[in-house]
């Protein structure tokens, strides 16, 4: 395979663990197929909650989470991990949203300019990032979505974000999503178990009911069963972010996510009824 034939996949995500929990199967699958899979991580997860005993030997929460990401990258077979250098903004409504270096507080053009640099340098045919609500309304995820969309549209235009790099236009852009019917079933299960689906997750700060009200089409289904164990090992690297006492819903969702990961195709605009089984379908045919 020549350099011009090399397939490259770029994931633009917000925090260490997003690459494993959300889309680890996809990244591992394509890496196993010889695709150069790169991760651009916007922050180092500096304000994630961590049990004090896990910080032993680490200078900070960000240092710990960066080491966890290095472990996960090895399990997934990533060709490179690249940081944008912004700070974790915390969950929606957190005071960390307003930190001067917070990703969520950064001007959109500033974030997009850095992503453009990586797109032009790495030259991916396919780019993936979060959906318009950032999966679960996390401000950093939403910032990544907006900036990546802008960067994707601008990277091929020499007049936009001139940085000395050769302009390059990727062929496809996908948003990470998930099956809303599964989520609605999970909400019903939580209620049957006497739990509040509006306060779910490790820190009880995820509103599943609000998420379920947003509907995104599924255009691509990626069968990740061949690499499910690799995804599990990568997820295990993020020990500081595991949800204790995962419960029935957590175990059920994990089983589902070990079978397939699903995406909405943002570009090219998907025709009605589109069903893809490969993010690289049609690449190079233009």
Q: According to the 3-state scheme, what is the secondary structure of the chain?
A: CCCCCCCEEEEEECCCCHHHHCCHHHHHHHHHCCCEEEEEECCCCCCCCCCHHHHCCCCCHHHHHHHHHHHHHHHHCCCEEEECCCECCCCCCCHHHHCCCEHHHCCHHHHHHHHHHHHHHHCCCEEEEECCCHHHHCHHHHHHHHHHHHHHHHCCCCCCCCCCCCCCCCCEEEEEECCHHHHHHHHHHHHHCCCCCCCECCCCCECHHHHHCCCCCCCEEEECHHHHHHHHHHHHHCHHHCCCCCHHHHHHHHHHHCCEEEEEEEECCCCCCCCECCCCCCCCCC
- Structure confidence by residue, pLDDT tens digits, 110-120: 999 999 999 99
pLDDT for position 34 = 98
Query: What is the pLDDT, as a whole number, of residue 96?
Result: 93
Q: Which domains does the chain have, with CATH numbers?
A: 8-266 (3.40.50.10320)
Residue range 178-197: average pLDDT? 80
Q: Write the pLDDT tens digit of every residue in 8-35.
A: 999 999 999 999 998 999 999 999 999 9
Could you report the per-residue pLDDT of 130-156, keeping only the tens digit for each? 999 999 889 999 999 999 999 999 999
């Amino acid at each position: 395979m020549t350099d011009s034939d090399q397939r490259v996949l770029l994931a633009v995500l917000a925090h260490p663990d997003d690459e494993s929990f959300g889309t680890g199967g996809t990244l591992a699958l394509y890496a196993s197929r010889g695709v150069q899979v790169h991760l651009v991580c916007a922050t180092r997860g500096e304000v994630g909650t961590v049990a004090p005993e896990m910080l032993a030997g680490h200078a900070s929460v960000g240092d710990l989470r960066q080491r966890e990401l290095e472990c996960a990258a090895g399990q997934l077979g990533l060709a490179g991990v690249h940081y944008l250098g912004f700070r974790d903004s915390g969950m929606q409504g957190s005071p960390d949203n307003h930190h001067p270096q917070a990703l969520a507080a950064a001007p959109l053009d500033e974030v997009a300019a850095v992503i453009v640099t990586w797109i032009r340098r790495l030259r991916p045919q396919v780019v993936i990032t979060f959906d318009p609500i950032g999966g679960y309304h996390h401000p950093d995820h939403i910032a990544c979505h907006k900036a990546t969309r802008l960067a994707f549209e601008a990277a091929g235009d020499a007049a936009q974000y001139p940085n000395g790099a050769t302009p390059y236009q990727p062929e496809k852009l996908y948003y990470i999503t998930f099956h809303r019917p599964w989520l609605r079933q999970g909400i019903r299960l939580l209620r049957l178990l006497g739990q509040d689906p509006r306060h779910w997750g490790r820190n009880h700060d995820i509103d599943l009911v609000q998420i379920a009200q947003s509907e995104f089409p599924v255009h691509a289904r990626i069968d990740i069963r061949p690499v499910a164990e690799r995804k599990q090992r990568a997820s295990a690297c993020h020990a500081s972010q595991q949800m204790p006492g995962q419960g029935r819903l957590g175990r059920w969702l994990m089983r589902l996510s070990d079978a397939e990961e699903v995406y909405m195709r943002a570009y090219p605009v998907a025709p009605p009824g589109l069903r893809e089984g490969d993010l690289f379908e049609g690449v190079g045919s233009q």
